[in-house]
Amino acid sequence: MHLFKKIFSKSRAQEGGIFFDTIQKILGFTPDTIDHYKRAFTHRSTNKLDAAGNPLNYERLEFLGDAMLSSVIAAHLFNQVPSGDEGYLTKMRSKIVSREHLNELGRDLHLIDLVESKVLTQHFGENIHGNLFEALVGAIYLDKGYIYCEKFIHNRVIAPYVDIPKLEGKVISYKSLLIEWCQKEKRTFHYDVFEDNGIDAQKFFGVKLSIDNKIIAKARATSKKKAEEIASKRAYFAFQEKINNK
């Protein structure tokens, strides 16, 4: 049974080739039906049709993904912020699922590299990134159901990006919070870029933050500024007790 499963997934992987591997890496689990994901990356310009003659592209999946994102984020906020009323929860959710934020999510996962299209990717507008991200979430729902969808959104949206104090506007930048604290505490700090892949289309930076010459946090992101912010946030939470007790 176990062996059979192994062979089965191997043959599936061979079917989808590089696409299958890339999707699997993005998802963090093995897809069952790769066709859902293929559809999630098929642009309408291909003019493909399914067996019933309906357009085969990612546009309907965007609708489905958007609905799943909204409900998973709603449940997360409901549980995380017991003091927030309906208005607060609605506002916070719309910040998290804003077009701008979804575009960032899609861009960071380089989803555009997977698109099958007759339009050159350079000619797509900025929203293609967010649209692909929504479609991917829709495909996960069809392939694996709500629970996997929820896990994916937790791993790819909530854990790395959903920062309630920052969304509330109470914290503008963790970097400035951290610098302020270092100055007050008379500590030295510096940020070092330790990685820069140099590829223009897919820039990637690694940043190390040291305080008193000790490395406190590392982070990688698509811009130096973002990586610094993530490293600062990590350091901030590591030091939070100290900061709060001052």
Q: Which residues bind a second copy (CB under 8 A)?
A: 50, 52, 54-55, 59-60, 62-64, 66-68, 70-71, 74-75, 78, 82-86, 89-90, 138, 141, 146-147, 150
User: Is 150 annotated as ligand-binding?
Assistant: no
Q: Where would I find the H helices in the chain?
A: 2-27, 34-40, 59-80, 86-96, 99-108, 128-144, 146-153, 159-161, 164-167, 174-184, 224-245
User: Is 62 annotated as ligand-binding?
Assistant: yes
> Is 66 an annotated catalytic residue?
yes
Q: Which is nearer to a second copy, 68 or 227 (CB)?
A: 68
Query: Which has the closest alpha carbon to 95: 106, 83, 104?
Result: 104
Q: How far is CA 240 from CA 112, 170, 232, 246, in A?
A: 38, 15, 11, 10
Shortest distance (Å) from residue 133 CB to a second copy: 15
Shortest distance (Å) from residue 232 CB to a second copy: 30
Shortest distance (Å) from residue 183 CB to a second copy: 36
> Is 134 an annotated catalytic residue?
yes
Kindly give the interhelix angle for 146-153 and 128-144, rounded to the nearest 10 degrees.
140
Q: How many angstroms separate the CA atoms of 242 and 246, rounded?
A: 7
Catalytic residue among 21, 134, 195, 212: 134
Q: Which is nearer to a second copy, 73 or 109 (CB)?
A: 73
User: Is 131 annotated as ligand-binding?
Assistant: yes
Please give the full DSSP string across 26-52, using - where no structure is assigned.
HHTS--S-HHHHHHHTB-GGG--B-TT
Q: Which is nearer to a second copy, 31 or 65 (CB)?
A: 65
Structure tokens at 196: 């820069």
Shortest distance (Å) from residue 39 CB to a second copy: 12
Catalytic residue among 32, 50, 66, 104: 66
**Which residues are part of the catalytic machinery?**
66, 134
Residues tagged in the binding site annotation for Mg(2+): 62, 131, 134
